[in-house]
A and B are shown apart, each in its own frame.
Chain A
Amino acid sequence: MAGPGGDMQWCFSQVKGAIDDDVAEADIISTVEFNHTGELLATGDKGGRVVIFQQEIENKNLPQFRSEYNVYSTFQSHEPEFDYLKSLEIEEKINKIRWLPQKNAAQFLLSTNDKTIKLWKISERDKRPEGYNLKEEDGRYKDPNSITSLRVPVLIPMDLMVEASPRRVFANAHTYHINSISVNSDEETYLSADDLRINLWNLEITDRSFNIVDIKPANMEELTEVITAAEFHPHQCNTFVYSSSKGTIRLCDMRASALCDKQSKLFEEPEDPSNRSFFSEIISSISDVKFSHNGRYMMTRDYLSVKIWDLNMENRPVETYQVHEYLRSKLCSLYENDCIFDKFECCWNGNDSVVMTGSYNNFFRMFDRGQRRDVTLEASRENSKPMQVLKPRKVCAGGKRKKDEISVDSLDFNKKILHTAWHPQDNIIAVATTNNLYIFQDKVN
């Protein structure tokens, strides 16, 4: 990735967000997602707000400033609510944002908190009508007796205004907390998954949804696993997968039956029972699952590793990448400070050759599948000079710490990169630290 011989190097492009260390809870970024062209980049935060950035294509003659993302629209998507029946607060935190493919001038996205999914329409307005017959320019109605002639109002240009309006609210379908939404390739339906159930919705219909997976046991005492993530196949509209807290992935075919409790395929890596410890199940819990763009593979993220699965092979992953294996000897303290439950996401690059995921200390990792190389980079204000090349980082697990290495005990576990996104075509990545959004791009030689 980084190194001699024309390998790819990453440069700082932009950083968004406040500089001060005192982070307000509402500003914690909870999701990052590029749209299908990569022109738009959406973020959601704990305060229920969505901020959308738009890529301004600079002079094509100036290759070094290929992409600058500037604020396009921002709106309050979800508000905190109170569940009266259970006396529980419903957080406004945006768990996921998913873009719909663009069909007309407007852009649509789905945003969800723990309980409610909303379809937002983002549209531009750059013209306004002028020359009404019955109204003054400021809106006051004219005295009808004063009107002596008729005219046709004309549309005149105005400053671009971007409006976001909620077009659909999909509520009251989830007893448990929604962890995933995924738009189907049929562009008509989408799924929403909570800890125990997955529902199928039609984008037009808000008062009904089909339950397609239900793993709730009759007796809650018998609960052994929960659903952690779910996604539709990128091309096959009948296929979706869901991952569990036990490290398994189930692939379901909606043609087989209405209720897909019985999976078509079960992906599980066999475990050596003698290696089993108290932590085994917790660290095997899958925090994210993502299909490759070509639809032949899927990637899962568990606490310590990233695994690539061939959809045709259920008994083991085809590739496993260690994200931060040095944490295995720190599991006790990571359990005590709850970090062991952190849910890291992962993503593919446009041609499925590189995968990326976050870690602690504002580090993030990239694994080049073809070249069998990986790199650790850091998102920090110290490396944020324009087009500054990111230097690879190294963590020293034990023993002699070399210069420029950082020891495991010095890692800041409060600085976690849980959410990252890769532009669908170009080498532009968005990396979210706690409250800042970094945009990096590959160095153009």
Chain B
Amino acid sequence: MSGDNEEAQTVEETSVEEKDVQDKVISPEKSEEAKLKSRYPNLGNKPGGSDLLRKRLQKGQKYFDSGDYNMAKAKIKNKQLPTAAPEKTEITGDHIPTPQDLPQRKPSLVASKLAG
């Protein structure tokens, strides 16, 4: 039913034929490799080797310290939640605020949209 297998065969057959004929034409993978090397000449010859693996082992954003991390998190939270009304600053500037004056604490956990 699918043409994919046929296409795969075509690619394989082509590369086999190419090797047989010993043409200068190379397999799609090798031509892609040549393309990559031409764009990034400094690319090391150790594909998927230590460097790539080590980058994988250390995935995750590095922060300077926990303070840096918490500041970054706070910035994201502020961006996601709608900003409070401007009266908030006026109130707390004028007098000692009471619980009624302060804006409602936004729930920090938002429900998944899959459950909506």
Instruction: Give every chain B residue within 8 A of A322 (Cβ-Cβ).
Output: 4-5, 7-8
In angstroms, Cα B3 to Cα A17, docked, is: 32
B50–A278 CB distance below 8 A: no
The answer to whether B95 has its CB under 8 Å from any CB of chain A is no
B115–A71 CB distance below 8 A: yes
A43–B50 CB distance below 8 A: no
B32–A330 CB distance below 8 A: yes
Instruction: Give every chain A residue within 8 A of B15 (Cβ-Cβ).
Output: 275
B49–A45 CB distance below 8 A: no
Secondary structure type dominating chain A contacts: mixed
Interface string of B42-68 (1 = CB under 8 A from A): 010001111011101111111111101
The answer to whether B19 has its CB under 8 Å from any CB of chain A is yes
The answer to whether A385 has its CB under 8 Å from any CB of chain B is no
Instruction: Give every chain A residue within 8 A of B112 (Cβ-Cβ).
Output: 26-27, 45, 47, 49, 51, 74
**Provided the pairs A17-B114, A224-B53 are in contact, do residues A324 and B30 lie with their beta carbons within 8 angstroms?**
no
Interface string of B30-47 (1 = CB under 8 A from A): 111101110100010001
Q: Specify which of B31, B33, B37, B62 lies most central, judged by the most chain A CB atoms within 10 Å of its CB.
A: B33
The answer to whether A413 has its CB under 8 Å from any CB of chain B is no
Beta-carbon nearest neighbor of B69 in chain A = A82
The answer to whether B103 has its CB under 8 Å from any CB of chain A is no
Q: How many A-B residue pairs have CB under 8 A?
A: 164
B1–A3 CB distance below 8 A: yes
Instruction: Give every chain B residue within 8 A of A89 (Cβ-Cβ).
Output: 60-61, 63, 69
The answer to whether B29 has its CB under 8 Å from any CB of chain A is yes
B32–A225 CB distance below 8 A: no
How many interface residues does chain A have, given as a range?
35 or more
> Which one of A17, A226, A285, A374 lies within 8 Å of B2 (CB-CB)?
A374
In angstroms, Cα B78 to Cα A275, docked, is: 52
The answer to whether A141 has its CB under 8 Å from any CB of chain B is no
Beta-carbon nearest neighbor of B43 in chain A = A278
B57–A176 CB distance below 8 A: yes
The answer to whether B97 has its CB under 8 Å from any CB of chain A is no
B53–A437 CB distance below 8 A: no
Beta-carbon nearest neighbor of A331 in chain B = B32
The answer to whether A339 has its CB under 8 Å from any CB of chain B is no
In angstroms, Cα B28 to Cα A111, docked, is: 41
The answer to whether B11 has its CB under 8 Å from any CB of chain A is yes
CB distance from A390 to the nearest CB of B (A): 13
In angstroms, Cα B112 to Cα A275, docked, is: 46
B59–A177 CB distance below 8 A: yes
The answer to whether A274 has its CB under 8 Å from any CB of chain B is yes
Report, nearest first, the 4 A-B pairs whose CB atoms are least far apart: A281-B48, A329-B28, A325-B8, A331-B32
B residues with a Cβ closer than 8 A to A are 1-5, 7-8, 11, 15, 19, 27-33, 35-37, 39, 43, 47-50, 52-54, 56-66, 68-70, 73, 80, 109-116
5 further interface pairs, Cβ-Cβ under 8 Å (given A17-B113, A47-B112, A87-B65)? A47-B110, A177-B57, A329-B31, A331-B28, A374-B1
A residues with a Cβ closer than 8 A to B are 1-3, 16-18, 24, 26-27, 29, 43, 45, 47, 49, 51, 71, 74, 76, 80, 82, 84, 86-91, 114, 176-177, 195-196, 220-226, 245-246, 274-275, 277-282, 285, 322-326, 328-332, 335-336, 373-376, 392, 394-395, 397, 435, 437
Q: List 16 A-B contacts (CB under 8 A).
A: A1-B1, A24-B80, A26-B110, A74-B115, A89-B69, A90-B60, A177-B59, A222-B50, A224-B49, A278-B47, A281-B47, A282-B48, A282-B52, A285-B48, A331-B36, A435-B113
